[in-house]
Amino acid sequence: MKTIEIKGHLRESLGTKTAKQLRREGQVPCVAYGGDKNVHFHADERELNKLIYTPNVYQVNLDIDGQKLIAVMRNPEFHPVKDTLLHLDFIEILPGKLTTMRIPLNLTGASAGVKNGGVLRHNAKKLLVKGLIENIPDEILVDITTMAIGDSKKVGELDIKDLEILESDNRVVVAVKTSRKAVTTEDEEEGEEGAEEGAEEGAEGAADAPAES
């Protein structure tokens, strides 16, 4: 898994008034929990935006006034109007402790059904998984090369080593739906057979035709 380093500073006092002052200074109130005790700190909003506004997932190496923690991001809170980051939680990762996080699900290959005019539905962009931090990948890859029109893949069909997927087995992650311009494999085969038969009949007709004098 990719890593990112975030520097922070311990909060001297808690409360709404102090939090508002930090935000005016471009700092975001944060808390890391899951270890021996909760750690309240603040970090530069510009640094945290690198963690927030990305499709990637990261192991976060926190340096809080020299105190080193390994964590993953949780529950970003945004301003309802300005959409600026108001608060951010982190879950501390301890050796041998399972963690849960959402990781991207990306598609590979070119679907046969899409080539025939079908419509690709990528229903699950991220999946919630559980495992040791060292076993959590950057992404889950699903090969759609052999998917024809009408095919779908569900969570229960995915097999990811050393990870538990915390989603319903029946959840469809990707499907190829029909469309008005869709052509099935059977239609293609029938069209090819018809063309071959037409070519053969044309050749026979040409052979049976009387020669011109």
Position 122 confidence tier, pLDDT thresholds 50, 70, 90: very high
What confidence score (pLDDT) does residue 36 get? 86
3-state secondary structure of 194: helix
Q: Are residues 151 and 168 in the same domain?
A: yes
Across the beta sheet with 126-131, the strand order is: 140-143, 99-108, 126-131, 164-165
Pair of tokens at residue 175: 């499907």
Q: Is the pLDDT of residue 161 over 90?
A: no
DSSP 8-state symbol, 22 = H
Tokens of 87: 């608060």
Q: Do 116 and 166 reside in the same domain of the chain?
A: yes
Q: Are both 70 and 108 inside the same structural domain?
A: no
pLDDT band of 207, cuts 50, 70, 90: very low
Closest CA to 104 of 74, 128, 136, 139: 139
- Of the residues 94, 122, 146, which one is the last residue of a structural domain? 94
Residue 205 lies in a domain: no
Average pLDDT, the chain: 86
pLDDT at 206 > cutoff 90: no
Tally of CB atoms within 10 A around 6: 23
Average pLDDT over residues 80-91: 92
> Which CATH number goes with the domain that contains 9?
2.40.240.10
- Residue 209 domain-assigned (yes or no): no
Among 4-18, 170-184, 198-212, the range scoring the smallest mean pLDDT is 198-212
Mean pLDDT of 42-69: 93
- b/e string for 59-93 if b means 16 or more Cβ within 10 A? bbebebeeeebbbbbeeeeeeeeeeebbebbbbbb
Does 111 share its domain with 169?
yes
Residues 134 and 169 in one domain: yes
Percent of the chain with pLDDT over 70: 85
One domain, residues 82 and 107: no
Judge whether 190 lies within some domain: no
Please list, in sequence order, all residues whose beta carbon lies within 8 angstroms of the beta carbon of residue 152, skipping any fewer than 6 positions away. Answer: 172, 174, 175, 176
Helix H or strand E encompassing 174: strand 172-177
Supply the pLDDT for residue 159: 83
